[in-house]
């Protein structure tokens, strides 16, 4: 479906009735209308967010609508990231049904740049230099992560990373120092062994985490390991997997050993909150999670449940009884080494009026007041030094629970190596599904090396098929 929709979009022509059509993915000819029409223009924004991130985006759109009369933004939630991308792929065959702005997972960058329906942010910045000034101030690693062959594609950024929560009470009971997090996977195993040896009541396994491909990708990128060829797909379109390597073996054998020794409870990849339930109920002392959970968890702990609407989520009473601390995600070599993850907002090509309106909303979204909210309420890491240094962000980073946690996991974003961003994978949906299967197989006890080799070979086939389809 993904490749079929890509072909349909790239082969499409302009539609005068809808104002929709395909944009040339070759950036030499890409243009971006930035002058607003005189009359009101309606635009639609799609997103995959929930809880406080969702309500924050909706509130920002409401503020934008109230600030002017030329553009009206309608914000539409599209389920999770997989559901959103599936719908976007399907609608590419009927471009009039596409949104004007879409926030989608960072992993979709290659596909979005190849799609022929996205206007690159670089083109908008060229047409509106002052309006695009925010893009010049992005952390170098953020710019590098979202750049394809010298062109910056998204116009807005939701920077996220992996992190850990720890139950300090259980660490104390096991004779460990509270608030001290492991630097490496080996240290995490050692701490988990001490917790297990303490036979703490209710603890089934010291660590709980979802078998998410993000974990494997983050560990590999943080250690400087290529995942696909051609410089992780940055030099040219990837055509072969580099997944079958010593670092992958180390990570997969670590996961399998932790499971075998009763140190790790794995949760299947998906939307369930079973990992948080296990942690909140005291069944595990550590949880590896996406950092975007911070503001929601902190809000519930502080009794501020407005906007927190996950069915079955732990109650404020339950969480307030826990002594929870947040820390950096451990690495193969040291903690906090990762790549830029999260999601990004793209301007979708349409009529000049709608493209200009979409760009205008992106400029409003990127202004400092909204970026401060995106960090402190939406639960993202600052994407620029200006946002990080702003008084409001710095105050929250020292005076609120959620702010302190975000400050902790924000460490190192500014220092991430812009010369080694994560992989660009065109057929990311199929690639992710194959990684999910690999992780499930390893978690269930399959021999690591043959399973890894088979997965890597399958990913090579996916990459070659995609490259052939798009003419790379």
Give domain limits for the chain.
Answer: 2-159+341-410, 162-338+427-470
Contact 403, 430 (CB under 8 A): no
Q: Are 335 and 181 in contact (CB under 8 A)?
A: yes
Nearest to 295, CA basis, from 388, 368, 370, 378: 378
Strand order, beta sheet including 207-210: 264-267, 207-210, 286-290, 162-167, 324-328
Topology match between the domains 2-159+341-410 and 162-338+427-470? yes
Task: Please tell me the predicted confidence (pLDDT) of residue 383.
Answer: 96
Beta bridge mates, 209 = 266, 288
State residue 278's pLDDT score.
85
**Whole-model pTM above 0.85?**
yes
pLDDT single digits (tens) 56-66: 999 999 999 99
pLDDT at 27 over 60: no
pLDDT score for 315: 64
Model confidence at 98: pLDDT above 70? yes
Q: What is the pLDDT of residue 72?
A: 98
Helices of type H across 287-351: 294-301, 316-320
- Residue 338 has a pLDDT of 85
Measured on CA atoms in the order 437, 439, 445, 451, is the torsion positive or negative? positive
The confidence score (pLDDT) of residue 314 equals: 62
State residue 414's pLDDT score: 78
Alpha carbons 89 and 94: distance in angstroms, whole number: 10
- The answer to whether domain 2-159+341-410 has CATH 3.40.190.10 is yes
pLDDT digits (tens, 9 = 90+) for 386-405: 999 999 999 999 999 889 99
Residues 6+ apart with CB under 8 A from 261: 193, 196
Query: Domain 162-338+427-470 belongs to what architecture?
Result: 3-Layer(aba) Sandwich (3.40)
127-131, 136-140, 296-300, 310-314: least confident range: 310-314
8 A C-beta contact, residue 164 and residue 289: yes
Taking each continuous run of H as one helix and of E as one strand, the counts in the chain are 22, 13
Compute the average pLDDT of residues 353-357: 98
Task: Classify residue 457 by burial, with Cβ atoms within 10 Å: 0-12, 13-18, 19+.
Answer: middle
Tens digit of each residue's pLDDT (9 = 90 or more) over 184-210? 999 999 999 999 999 999 999 999 999
More confident residue, 93 or 29: 93
pLDDT of residue 13: 32
- Report the pLDDT value the prediction gives residue 402, as an integer from 0 to 100: 87
Q: What is the pLDDT of residue 14?
A: 37
Q: By the 8 A CB rule, do 331 and 290 touch?
A: no
């Amino acid at each position: 479906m993904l490749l079929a929709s890509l072909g349909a979009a790239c082969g499409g022509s302009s539609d005068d009735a809808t104002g929709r059509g395909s944009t040339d993915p070759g950036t030499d000819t890409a243009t971006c209308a930035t002058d607003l029409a005189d009359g009101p223009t309606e635009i639609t924004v799609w997103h995959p967010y929930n809880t406080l991130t969702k309500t924050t985006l909706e509130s920002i759109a409401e503020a934008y609508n109230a600030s002017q009369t030329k553009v009206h933004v309608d914000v539409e939630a599209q389920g999770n990231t997989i559901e959103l991308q599936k719908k976007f792929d399907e609608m590419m065959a009927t471009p009039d049904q596409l949104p004007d702005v879409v926030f989608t997972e960072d992993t979709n960058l290659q596909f979005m740049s190849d799609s022929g329906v996205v206007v690159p942010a670089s083109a908008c910045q060229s047409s509106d230099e002052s309006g695009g000034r925010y893009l010049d101030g992005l952390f170098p690693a953020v710019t590098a992560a979202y750049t394809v062959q010298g062109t910056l594609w998204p116009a807005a950024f939701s920077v996220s990373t992996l992190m850990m929560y720890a139950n300090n009470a259980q660490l104390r009971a096991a004779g460990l120092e509270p608030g001290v997090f492991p630097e490496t996977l080996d240290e995490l195993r050692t701490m988990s062994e001490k917790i297990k040896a303490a036979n703490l009541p209710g603890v089934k396994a010291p660590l709980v985490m979802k078998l998410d491909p993000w974990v494997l990708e983050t560990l590999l990128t943080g250690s400087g390991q290529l995942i696909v060829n051609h410089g992780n797909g940055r030099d040219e379109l990837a055509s072969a997997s580099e997944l079958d390597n010593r670092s992958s073996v180390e990570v997969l054998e670590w996961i399998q050993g932790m499971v075998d020794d009763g140190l790790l409870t794995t949760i299947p990849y998906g939307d369930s909150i079973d990992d948080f339930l296990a942690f909140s109920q005291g069944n595990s002392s550590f949880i590896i999670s996406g950092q975007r959970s911070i503001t929601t968890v902190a809000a519930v702990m502080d009794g501020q449940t407005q906007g927190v609407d996950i069915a079955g989520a732990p109650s404020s009473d339950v969480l307030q009884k826990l002594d929870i601390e947040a820390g950096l995600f451990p690495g193969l070599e040291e903690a906090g080494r990762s790549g830029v993850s999260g999601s990004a907002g793209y301007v979708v090509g349409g009529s000049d009026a709608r493209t200009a309106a979409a760009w205008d909303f992106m400029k409003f979204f990127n202004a400092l007041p909204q970026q401060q909210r995106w960090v402190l309420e939406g639960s993202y890491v600052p994407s620029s030094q200006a946002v990080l240094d702003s008084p409001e962000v710095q105050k929250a980073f020292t005076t609120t629970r959620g702010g302190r946690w975000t400050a902790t996991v924000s460490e190192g974003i500014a220092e991430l190596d812009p010369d080694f961003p994560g992989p660009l994978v065109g057929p990311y949906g199929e690639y992710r599904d194959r990684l999910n299967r690999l992780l499930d197989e390893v978690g269930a006890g399959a021999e690591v090396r043959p399973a890894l080799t088979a997965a890597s070979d399958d990913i090579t086939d996916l990459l070659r098929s995609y490259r052939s389809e798009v003419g790379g």
